[in-house]
Structure 1
Amino acid sequence: MRLSNLADYAVVTMHAAARHCGGGRTSAAELAAETGLPVPTVQKLVSKLSAAGLLRSVRGAGGGLQLARPAAAISVADIVEAVEGPIALTACVEGQDCTIGHDCSVRPHWPVINTALRGALADIPLTRLSAEVA
């Protein structure tokens, strides 16, 4: 399994936004400069992350973007789902057609696997991404 580039970039963008915690605000252009991502990509991500309630935009003088909740309360799962939708390794779990769906003995087990994967990502708060890797 591999995350899409957009989901990867969303985690990078949120990590950069978290560095502005404590009342500091930033902009999509600043986040793009800090991450090395193209401004249009960051703008698209900001829209998705805002719609998911992870970022908020403050208007007016001194306005800008900030985390919508504390970094410790935002998980990698939250970020990935904001961009990708529900975490699922197979399409059949999402109700999409499968050529062997009616005979598949594994299908009933995919929700357990998906829940475990989501749980692992949910256990990684945004603050942990700032910790030094040993």
Structure 2
Amino acid sequence: MRLMRSTDLALRTLMRLAVAESGTAPTTREVAADMAVPYTHEAKVVAELQKMGLLEARRGRGGGLALTEAGRTASVGALVRSFEGDGDVVECEGAAPCPLNSACRLRSALRRAQEAFYASLDPLTVADMVAAPTGPLLLDITARDAT
């Protein structure tokens, strides 16, 4: 299974904010630079995460991004489900429907595998994802970029 780029970026953004030093609030542009992604992609993901209540974004002088408590304790599985949507792993209908659609076992097997994937991520939180060695590495990356 392959995650959409926006899902990956949402996870990395939350992880980056989870290790931000208290009192600092990196901007969307700074997080985009830290993650080596285009600002426009980062801005879309930040807007969605803000709408979900996982981060706060403040504009202007002294503004920036901050992880909310809900963002820190958010289930990685729930976040991935939210960004990936409810779609099936394979498309069985649409412009060219699959001829096996009426008697196919593959679709349900793939759906179970997809749910098992999400279920394995459910117990993990963003805070879990930044435990050592990841958190210190994220801090090192951001410190390197500041110099």
- 2:90, 2:107 within 8 Å by CA — same for their partners in 1? no
For 1:68, the equivalent position in structure 2 comes to 68
Q: 1-side partners of 2:17 and 2:112: how far apart? A: 33
- 2:56, 2:68 within 8 Å by CA — same for their partners in 1? yes
- Is 1:14 aligned with 2:14? yes
Question: Unmatched 5+ residue regions in structure 1?
Answer: none
Q: Per-residue CA shift, 1:86-131, capped at 9, x if unaligned?
A: 3753445xxx555222111344455543332211122221122222
TM-score (norm 1): 0.73
Q: 1-side partners of 2:105 and 2:63: how far apart? A: 54
TM-score (norm 2): 0.68
Amino acid at match of 1:114: Q
Q: Cα distance, 1:34 vs. partner?
A: 2.2
Q: Per-residue CA shift, 1:69-101, capped at 9, x if unaligned?
A: 245412322332343223753445xxx555222
After superposition, the CA RMSD in angstroms is 2.8
Work out the percentage of aligned pairs sharing the same amino acid: 28
SS in 2 for 1:25: coil
For 1:103, the equivalent position in structure 2 comes to 103
- Is 1:83 aligned with 2:51? no
Q: 1:119-134 residue pairs with structure 2 within 5 A? A: 119-133=119-133
Q: Cα distance, 1:49 vs. partner?
A: 1.6
- The structure with the largest alpha-carbon Rg is 2
Q: 1-side partners of 2:85 and 2:116: how far apart? A: 16
